[in-house]
Amino acid sequence: MILQCDNIWFAHDTRPALEDVSARLHPGQFSVILGPNGAGKSTLLNCLAGLLEPRSGSVQLDGDAILALSDAARAKLLGLLPQGAQTHWAITAHALVALGRYPHRKGLGLSAEDHSAIDAALTATGTTSFSDRLVTELSGGERARVLMARVLAGQPQWILADEPLANLDPGYQIDMLHLLRDQARSGKGVVAVLHDLHHAVRFADQVILLHRGNVFAQGSVADVLTSSNLAAVYGIDAKLFSDEEGAIQLLIKGKTAP
Ligand SMILES: Nc1ncnc2c1ncn2[C@@H]1O[C@H](COP(=O)(O)OP(=O)(O)OP(=O)(O)O)[C@@H](O)[C@H]1O
């Protein structure tokens, strides 16, 4: 079930945010969208999720136009963690995660299947211990994990996450990256917008590097995060190297000379 966009153009106002963007995303892969502030990462993710309608071009899931799917069908297939997701209601974390089951609900109550999906999502995100607390009273990082649990509870085929590491401390960032990669290894498609290039180098199977609304490069970490691409897109002096264990790492030395 490939998720792809072909030649999409999108503008929030008069200035184009995406210009002729094409990408092909595969289930079983952890794909990472990178690029500087304002490059169009969130816009692209929201177009892939069917939340924004491109002015031209198409977004397709397994050959079907994403915008032609009913909201319910789309919600079952795609789980979106929006950027800076907020929780406005004083409900418990468990109740918030249970909302992720909404596309699957048949009656009023939660089925055994719903309960097991919710419990699995709470366990995967390490949020079981505070599932009875109000989300409005959780720390930013605790809330971020509960919001991811809501996405997981929906058991979507695709997980689209916009800055899923925001508010998480370094340990929980690594946990979240492992969780997303494990979801991909289990056969789901995972697409995340990240800012930290080191995390992308370590975890991404595929990278889409955006620059000013265009795909500057896409492919493997080694092919995309070259010193010249990083200098051109971010204005940084950086290079990939193999550490003593043979893992690829990124060394960022600073900004490039003006
Ligand atoms: N609601 C909006 N109205 C008008 N312009 C917008 C809106 N949302 C985004 N833009 C513009 O569209 C372009 C792409 O924004 P987008 O949020 O996709 O970037 P991004 O790469 O996700 O940035 P960041 O890393 O800062 O989150 C930017 O120029 C931005 O100013």
Query: Pairing between strand 3-11 and 16-25?
Result: antiparallel
Mean pLDDT for the stretch of residues 229-255: 96
Distance 174 CA to ligand 1 centre (A): 27
What is the rounded CA–CA span in Å between residue 141 and residue 224?
Answer: 30
The per-residue pLDDT for 7 is 98
- One-letter amino acid of 111: S
Which segments within the chain are labelled E, that is strand?
3-11, 16-25, 30-34, 56-61, 64-65, 78-81, 158-162, 189-193, 206-211, 214-219, 236-242, 248-255
Task: Give the mean pLDDT of 72-99.
Answer: 90
206-225 pLDDT, tens per residue? 999 999 999 999 999 999 99
ipTM > 0.90? yes
CA dihedral 99, 105, 111, 117 (to 10 degrees): -50
Domains of the chain: 3-225 (3.40.50.300), 226-257 (no CATH)
Write the residue with the smallest CA distance to atom 14 of ligand 1: 40
CA of 40 to the centre of ligand 1 (A): 6
With cut-offs at 50, 70 and 90, classify the pLDDT of residue 241.
very high
Q: How far apart are CA 248 and CA 232, in angstroms?
A: 21
With a 6 Å cutoff on the Cβ, whether 14 touches ligand 1 is no
Q: Please spell the DSSP secondary structure of 119-136, one letter per residue.
A: HHHHHHTT-GGGTTSBGG
Condensed to tens digits (0 to 9), the pLDDT of residues 4-34 reads 999 999 999 999 999 999 999 999 999 999 9
